[in-house]
Chains A and B, each alone.
Chain A
């Protein structure tokens, strides 16, 4: 409810702008296939959109007379992609730590005027979870262990992540949720552990505090805000799970971790979802290829997949990588969920994003075919009923 009010407020504040203007029109899309992700595929389906939301969806939906009809009856409709953990378009922040800075908000460093966002949009991403703190890429290098890309990362509680659309002329137009989740950059050592637990413990004693340094932690402790934890090595995941055991209402989401499959038991036991890069990994110190998303999915761990590289090229490559994962055994349905509804759930915005259902935002892609076929092109991208991207002429596969 709070979030809806929030949204309404946003609409009022930026009312003159595209979101609400587009909302007054009624649009109907006729498509060959509509993949709702959560409620199956609708053949020869129709979506009616009004106020930027899906009003009706199905085979025998009546198209209102006033509706503008987009007839793409040979195309496939798929929900817009959701990348739950990205730093795209943001610069790297000050380094140091460990420290507790829950009041720090990633939206304060948001800079909408960037070409990158156009390309990300063109790659089908309509929602991005932006991480506060240093670039969220910690990788395993054989022989060197785990290293963050470029210098030591800031550790501890590093702030609040935001949920944005990769479009808009100012931060207000981009933001979907200002404070979407609390971010922890975890490392298994006594100093980082102390910083985290002492901050959480002190918040426990001030549950009604409005202090911006405390409030996000209170919400995280109550499970009202998800907590994203950057924690790569499987050993560190064991430390993390042990450390946060007393705070059992927290909704944890593990970010990164290409060796997470070594601790599936712990993750299943505690129902912790994982955000993984969409790529085939090498098993440590070998050339054995492993499909980590498949391994986690088969262990019944909820996964969300994000581009392997947090760059324009990475985003543009994403669907191809997803297709590769499916080709090597990742369940097709789970793959579809892992790029739409699962990340939306992890970000706590599944009530309005991540699938094509009545009442949800009309965030979708118009595709030349199945999203997991390598030959498929993204022809149009729509955010809240408004076409925000059209493939340039010559890039479509008509005729």
Chain B
């Protein structure tokens, strides 16, 4: 009896030991897994170009980067000799990865990692996108929810980066009602916040009389506390200046989208530290009814740069297509930036406009947008300069994992060009 009992205990102990070994060893072995990208020209964006450099990746982050880096023996090596290695591109407003049901209020609940556009984003080197859904209703200028997602095809858990990072606001000279509502609500919210601070200060001294919180103004509070920027579509000078009034009066952060005429008021934008999203190829006729300059110019980006305005670049269409007018959609993001270069912008700033500056505008530059130690290993390997029209994305990594290889792509593997 006791013999059996002892054997029982021994068996149990052995089993426990085995379990312990499994638990202890597995995270260690996982931690040792290092991926190395060797031999490419590393376009770090924030630290120049490292010729024939190496990137080490561990646990989805960039572990090390430079020219004389020793690759651990067990590392999985990706050979990038003669290739361009750069951070994954950031597509502001890209349409991908959401199952588009009406009235979505939480994007995380409706992400679609198998969306066709997600696979096209990977193929075009876009690893991060600011997506939005929903529209403002009635006279409300506040509308839609936004999120920053990664194009991690098939992997739902890796998709979401951050939710509600910017606040889309619909105001324009064409719709006075929404603009008026926006201003009145901002004042109401500001009033409440001021009273709240006063009451809190009073409480420290003596009596407390907390003001009643007005309902439905949460978005305005977040704007006034500068937690998120307001994204305002403002293509004309008039719309831009009208939007800037709100920065002056309420001190909110702001991003101007579709800013075709930003070049005319570049100094005004720079003064207020407002960010801009532009589309260099967007055409707008000069308005002959007004005096002074108007309309679009291919020099927009270059002029903004000279004035010290930070801007991101997006193509004319924010969807992903394998049909239609080629080169106008999100798949041609680097081409759009190249067009700004032909308008006088330097290449470095143009690259920044589709990587680090775009990441900064949507509030994720701490993790994305450049090749730096500690950042997410969202990396693309190209077969040429990013601004060359023949260049293809060969490999896309998200969180250190290869998500796309052109040689295995159903849609692009057959496309080759003469050398």
Contacts and interface: CB of A to CB of B under 8 A. Distances in A.
A284 B109 contact: no
Contact of A236 (B105, B112, B410): B112
Given A189-B99, A262-B154, A235 B104 contact: no
Contacts of B115: 235
B101 interface: yes
B103 interface: yes
Contact of A285 (B103, B154, B156, B322): B322
Interface string A277-292: 0000001111010000
A190 interface: yes
A239 interface: yes
Nearest to B322: A285
B109 A189 contact: yes
Q: Which of A146, A239, A284, A288 has the most CB of B within 10 A?
A: A239
A284 B115 CA distance: 10
Interface string B81-114: 0000000000000000001110111100111111
A190 B106 contact: yes
Interface string A236-252: 10110010000000000
B15 interface: no
Contacts of A233: 99, 112, 114
A251 to B, nearest CB: 23
Q: Which of A145, A188, A235, A262 has the most CB of B within 10 A?
A: A235
A160 interface: no
Contacts of B111: 188, 235, 239
Nearest to A193: B109
Given A188-B110, A285-B322, A239 B101 contact: no
A270 interface: no
B116 A188 contact: no
A190 B322 CA distance: 31
Interface string A282-326: 011110100000000000000000000000000000000000000
Contact of A145 (B100, B110, B156): B100
B109 A238 contact: no
Contacts of A145: 99-100
A262 B154 CA distance: 8
Interface in B164-209: none
A236 B410 CA distance: 23
A286 B116 CA distance: 12
Contacts of A239: 109-111, 156
A234 B114 contact: yes
Contacts of B104: 189-190
Interface size, A (range): 20 to 34
A234 B116 CA distance: 12
A235 B105 contact: no
A92 B99 CA distance: 25
Interface string B101-143: 1011110011111111000000000000000000000000000
A187 B116 CA distance: 18
A259 interface: yes
A238 B113 contact: yes
Contacts of A189: 99, 101, 104, 106, 109-110
A282 B154 CA distance: 19
Nearest to A187: B101
B205 to A, nearest CB: 44
B381 to A, nearest CB: 25
Contacts of A6: none
B116 A236 contact: no
Interface string A253-272: 00000010010000000000
Contacts of B112: 188, 233, 235-236
A248 B174 CA distance: 54
A399 B104 CA distance: 65
Interface of A: 145-146, 187-191, 193, 233-236, 238-239, 242, 259, 262, 283-286, 288
Given A239-B156, A262-B114, 18 more contacts: A145-B100, A187-B99, A188-B99, A188-B112, A189-B99, A190-B109, A190-B110, A191-B105, A193-B109, A233-B112, A233-B114, A235-B156, A238-B156, A239-B111, A262-B154, A283-B410, A284-B116, A285-B411
Interface of B: 99-101, 103-106, 109-116, 154, 156, 322, 410-411
State the 7 A-B residue pairs at the shortest beta-carbon distance, nearest first. Answer: A235-B112, A190-B106, A190-B109, A238-B156, A234-B114, A189-B101, A235-B114
15 contacts: A145-B100, A146-B99, A188-B101, A188-B111, A188-B112, A189-B99, A189-B106, A189-B109, A190-B105, A191-B105, A233-B112, A235-B99, A239-B110, A284-B116, A285-B322
